[in-house]
């Protein structure tokens, strides 16, 4: 019997048809004018916001994921050329597809959100739609816009704030805005969203607690930026703080308050089994505060998730997709093995010998056991298996899985990090309870090995977040946040220099070094043999941060491939102002 899949119906499909949803973004088309005049009831308006949960994020799901995970040292591919490996070695160039696709996807989210905020909500209210319901739709759009700017700021640092796409079309020569103003802009949107979103809503739609969680994430980034004394005096003054240090303290307190509100609200909770997060039958489960709503059972481009491509082979998916050439890196895999939490490792990576009774149900064995013989380990997270495994959700090119973008476990770990604040360790009772809650779930399949933490250090949190959010775009943003106040540590980690002063450090980054791990073939080496080893032609990564006083990250002569990717070459061609000095945003 097929189960019902929870997802947000893309009402724009009913309103305009799948293909014509694109015309929402065409500022000169007659369709745009007709759409603006069509919002006569709340269903029309919620149809427009439903579109924000899927199509605009389509390439974010793949391109941003690959960029962030490669830069974080979490992925391995054979060879030393190609987009993914050169991204891992910080040698990416401006014409890479992933760079262009990520930029375009995130600004697509912003453009559609802008129309809802500027036009559709106003039109709906004028047409008699209840104002509070219309404001809730505006809050959804502001949530999405803030989330997109969070990614843009993490990837490119200084980026243009586009709050009216029509003006941008008339004058496309737009310089970037300062990183701190992009942060403030996103904060303002999320404050609005946390006030006007609903307490509860249709499964898959964001709520007040979703906005609180996303706001906590941005406050945490801002607190780290303040720890490095980077905010300008006008930003500090605008936020009623006397110094960067005071601003950091304020933000940490806000993070704790927001996370506590989410926990005490009770609407979201962690699933007891980590593996169950990555099954289509559990789409929009209690742990997901925000997810990209890919639609089960369809093949329409833009509404599908192709992440079954990561599968060990095509047999596993019933010949839908698979045989992926992206593997977990040596360093990431070693972190899973050394940590010892079986449930989380099984849900994240496909270790030889592990059996899964819920995928491979179409096979003669009725389940799937990871074969022995590969030298590298495939990813398991986001791989859902065959059509039978998913009750019909997975089809060619589409897993049907909602991609979680903000989970309850992050709420717990953000609270712990905020309790740590500027210290190097904490034994705060609430922070310990939340930290241990996440770790206990990770050990649910070998609970006898779980040892509750009695103290949390910065490195403990860093490792825990890397393990918990592998392939979820998070660890790279953690590295960038840490670079705001501890650049030397991040440079040494990314350039694999920490081991030079501490031979036992768990923070190595061999990037594209090959390895062999197979517990069935090499039990005496605990699964390892001849690992890690440099690939032929390998050149060590050279991660740099050289920002002369008074300069900016994209300036000629500045070198910071930590704080920013190159702007997409096609966009620089059409807007040469992109590479100019960032300007202040006028919040008045």
CATH of the domain at 147: 1.25.40.390
Domain termination residue (choose one: 442, 472, 502) = 472
Q: Where does a domain end: 387, 417, 447?
A: 387
In a domain, 140, yes or no: yes
Mean pLDDT of the residues in the chain? 92
pLDDT given for residue 143 in this prediction: 98
* Whether residue 465 is found in the same domain as residue 428: yes
pLDDT tens-digit profile of 308-353?
999 999 999 999 989 889 999 999 999 999 999 999 999 999 999 9
User: Are residues 157 and 45 part of one domain?
Assistant: yes
Average pLDDT over residues 221-227: 98
Here the CATH number for the domain that contains residue 429 is 1.25.40.900
Question: Per residue in 460-478, pLDDT tens?
Answer: 999 999 999 999 999 999 9
pLDDT band for position 37 (50/70/90)?
low
- Helices 458-468 and 429-442, packing angle to 10 deg: 40
Q: Are residues 284 and 347 in the same domain?
A: no
- The answer to whether the beta carbons of residues 374 and 352 sit under 8 Å apart is yes
Domains: count for the chain: 3
- 177 and 81 in a single domain? The answer is yes
pLDDT at 217: 98
Do 211 and 193 belong to one domain?
A: no
**In this structure, is residue 24 part of a structural domain?**
no
Residue 324 sits in the same domain as residue 288: no
Note whether residue 409 is domain-resident.
Answer: yes
C-alpha distances out from residue 131 to 36, 45, 116, 134, 276, Å: 17, 12, 14, 5, 39
Q: 400 and 390 in contact (C-beta within 8 Å)?
A: yes
Helical segments of 61-130, H only: 65-71, 83-88, 97-115, 121-126
**Average pLDDT for residues 191-220, to the nearest whole number?**
98
For residue range 404-424, list pLDDT tens digits in order: 999 999 999 999 999 999 999
Q: With bands split at pLDDT 50, 70 and 90, how would you rate the model's confidence at 170?
A: confident
pLDDT score, position 324 = 83
**Class of residue 131 by CB neighbours under 10 A (exposed 0-12, middle 13-18, buried 19+):** exposed
* Domain shared by 62 and 106, yes or no: yes
How far is it, in rounded angstroms, from Cα 20 to Cα 12? 9
276 and 407 inside one domain: yes
134 and 181 in a single domain? The answer is yes
Q: Domain check: are 364 and 344 in the same one?
A: yes
Q: What are phi and psi of 134, to 5 degrees?
A: -65, -40
Whether 253 and 173 map to the same domain: the answer is no
Residues 240, 120 share a domain:
no
Rounded Cα distance between 466 and 454, Å, is 20
Of 81-95, 188-202, 420-434, the least confident: 81-95
413 lies in some domain: yes
Structural domain boundaries enclosing 64: 39-197+492-510+545-587
Q: Is the pLDDT of residue 18 over 50?
A: no
């Amino acid at each position: 019997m097929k189960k019902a899949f929870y997802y947000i119906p893309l009402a724009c499909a009913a309103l305009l048809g799948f293909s014509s949803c694109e015309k929402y973004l065409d500022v000169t088309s007659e369709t745009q004018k007709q759409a603006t005049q069509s919002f006569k009831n709340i269903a029309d308006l919620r149809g427009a916001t439903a579109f924000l949960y899927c199509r605009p994020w389509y390439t974010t799901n793949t391109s941003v994921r690959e960029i962030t995970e490669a830069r974080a040292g979490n992925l391995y591919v054979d060879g030393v050329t190609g987009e993914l490996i050169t991204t891992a070695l910080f040698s990416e160039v401006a014409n890479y597809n992933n760079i262009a696709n990520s930029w375009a996807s995130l600004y697509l989210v912003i453009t559609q959100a802008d129309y809802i905020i500027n036009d559709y909500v106003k039109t709906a209210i004028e047409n008699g739609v209840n104002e509070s319901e219309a404001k809730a739709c505006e809050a959804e759009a502001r949530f999405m816009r803030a989330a997109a700017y969070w990614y843009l700021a993490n990837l490119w640092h200084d980026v243009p704030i586009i709050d009216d796409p029509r003006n941008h079309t008339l004058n496309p020569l737009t310089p970037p805005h300062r990183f701190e103003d992009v942060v403030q802009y996103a904060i303002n949107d999320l404050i609005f969203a946390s006030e006007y979103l609903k307490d509860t809503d249709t499964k898959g739609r964001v709520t007040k607690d979703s906005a609180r969680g996303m706001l906590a994430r941005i406050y945490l980034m801002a607190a780290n930026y303040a720890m490095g004394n980077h905010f300008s005096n006008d930003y500090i003054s605008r936020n009623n703080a006397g110094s960067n240090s005071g601003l950091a303290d304020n933000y940490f307190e806000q993070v704790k308050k927001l996370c506590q509100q989410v926990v005490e609200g009770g609407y979201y909770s962690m699933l007891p089994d980590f593996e169950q997060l990555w099954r289509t039958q559990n789409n929009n489960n209690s742990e997901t505060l925000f997810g990209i709503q890919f639609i089960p059972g369809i093949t329409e481009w833009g509404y599908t998730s192709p992440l079954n491509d990561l599968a060990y082979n095509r047999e596993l998916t019933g010949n839908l997709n698979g045989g992926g050439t992206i593997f977990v890196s040596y360093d990431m895999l070693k972190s899973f093995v050394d940590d010892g939490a079986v449930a989380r490792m099984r849900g994240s990576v496909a270790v030889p010998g592990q059996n899964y009774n819920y995928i491979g149900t179409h096979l003669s064995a009725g389940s799937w056991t990871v074969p022995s013989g590969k030298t590298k380990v495939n990813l398991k997270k986001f791989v859902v298996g065959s059509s039978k495994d998913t009750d019909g959700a997975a089809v060619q090119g589409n897993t049907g899985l909602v991609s979680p973008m903000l989970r309850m476990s992050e709420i717990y770990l953000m609270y712990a990090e905020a309790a740590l604040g500027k210290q190097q360790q904490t034994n705060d009772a609430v922070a310990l309870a939340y930290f241990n809650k996440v770790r206990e779930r990770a050990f649910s399949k070998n609970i006898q090995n779980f040892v509750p933490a009695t103290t949390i250090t910065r490195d403990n949190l860093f490792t825990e977040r890397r393990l918990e959010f592998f392939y979820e775009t998070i660890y790279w943003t953690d590295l960038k946040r840490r670079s705001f106040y501890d650049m030397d540590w991040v440079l040494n980690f990314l350039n694999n220099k920490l081991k030079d002063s501490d031979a036992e450090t768990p923070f190595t980054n061999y990037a594209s070094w090959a390895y062999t791990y197979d517990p069935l073939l090499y039990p005496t080496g605990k699964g390892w043999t001849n690992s890690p080893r440099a690939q032929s032609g390998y050149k060590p990564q050279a991660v740099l941060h050289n920002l002369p006083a008074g300069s900016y990250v994209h300036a000629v002569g500045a070198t910071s491939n930590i704080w920013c990717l190159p702007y997409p070459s096609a966009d620089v061609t059409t807007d040469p102002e992109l590479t100019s000095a960032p300007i202040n945003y006028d919040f008045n």
